[in-house]
Structure formats: structure tokens, C-alpha cells
Structure 1
Amino acid sequence: MLNNKAIFGFIAAAVTLPAFAETQCQNHPAAEQIPPAKFQEQLKAEGYQIRTFKKTDGNCYEIYGKNKEGKRVEIYFDTKTGKPVKSEVK
């Protein structure tokens, strides 16, 4: 049987794990980045429905929404090239 310290340690590790798993993108100077509003418009023109759009601490643009097939997606993009760095279709 686990004691309270072991349970607390397990919970603390599980809670902090996502912070270590964040996707990292190259840090581009602001003048070289695609402006967020312009990039969102490009994505919408490609058929994405964006529920959430943000710039991550890891220097990526991240979206939550649906792709043109209507499937839920979470995608990280390079801020300069607009190319996907990591994606998950749900």
C-alpha cells in the first residue's frame, strides 16, 4: 500500500509532466515572424476552424480547432515558415 508521501510524489510528477513536454520551435526575430492575424487568416483559407490560437512559451503558434475534414486538431506551427512542427488529430 502506498503512503501519503508516495501518493503526493506521484501526483506532483503527473501534474508537472506537461510542462516538460511542450513543443519547442526556433525563436525567430519578431520582424521575421508571420503576423498572428495574417497566419490565422491563412489557416482559415485552408479550411481550419480555429477555436483557440496562441503563441506558446516554446516559440510556436498553436491552434486547437478542426481541420477541413471536421476532425479535432491540436497543431504547433513554426512562426516564420508556418510549417507544422507537431500535430495531433483526435
Structure 2
Amino acid sequence: MLKQTLFGLMAAASLTAFAETTCTAHPKNEQIPPAKFQEQLKQQGYQIMKFKQTKGNCYEIYGKNKEGKKVEIYFDTKTGKPVKSEIDD
């Protein structure tokens, strides 16, 4: 019984760790077009390796910032503001 409880807690914790970031859902006509947004990011010095719109209504990039550090950043699709970011040193 104890093993089952511990396994259940570990499984729940791992699901929480991989939960996707959620952004506000905006109508398509209010969103920054993906190509335009990627161009804006490139002008800010980002190197984009992967770009996608998530199921959680965010734009997500994997790449490098202008300092050359690896980044994973989620952005609001309407404002373009970062919602969550991870930067490797």
C-alpha cells in the first residue's frame, strides 16, 4: 500500500513538472501574426531554432538570445510580452 501511495505521488509530481504554460486566448484577428512576431524577435537579436504556437495559447521559442545563451520563452500572442522564460547560463 505504501509503495502504491509513493508511486502515485511521484507520478503526480512529474505531471505537474511538465505542465504547459498557459497564456490568455486571443481571437486570431488580435494576435500578432507568427511571421511578423518572429521577425521582431530576430531584430531583437534572438536566433530562433524552433517556433510554435502552443495548445496553451502562447508563442514559444527555443533558440539563443543576443548574448548567445540558450533560451526557451513563452510569449503572449497579442502583446508579445514574455510570460515565462528559461535561460541557460
TM over 0.5: yes
Superposition RMSD in Å: 1.8
Q: CA deviation at 1:24?
A: 1.1
Check if 1:45 corresponds to 2:48: no
Q: Which runs of 4+ in 1 moved over 2 A?
A: 3-17
Give the TM-score, by structure 1 length. 0.82
Q: CA deviation at 1:52?
A: 0.7
Structure 2 alignment gaps of length 5 or more:
none
CA distance in 2, matches of 1:41, 1:82: 12
Local SS of the residue matching 1:41: helix
CA distance in 2, matches of 1:44, 1:10: 42
1:56-87 per-position Cα deviation (integer Å, ceiling 9, x unaligned): 11100000100000000010000001011111
Equivalent position of 2:85 in the other structure = 87
Q: Percent identity?
A: 71
Equivalent position of 1:76 in the other structure = 74
Give the TM-score, by structure 2 length. 0.83
CA distance in 2, matches of 1:27, 1:65: 24
Local SS of the residue matching 2:66: coil
Aligned pairs, number: 87
Q: CA deviation at 1:44?
A: 0.5
CA distance in 1, matches of 2:3, 2:41: 48
Q: CA deviation at 1:23?
A: 1.1
CA distance in 2, matches of 1:61, 1:74: 11
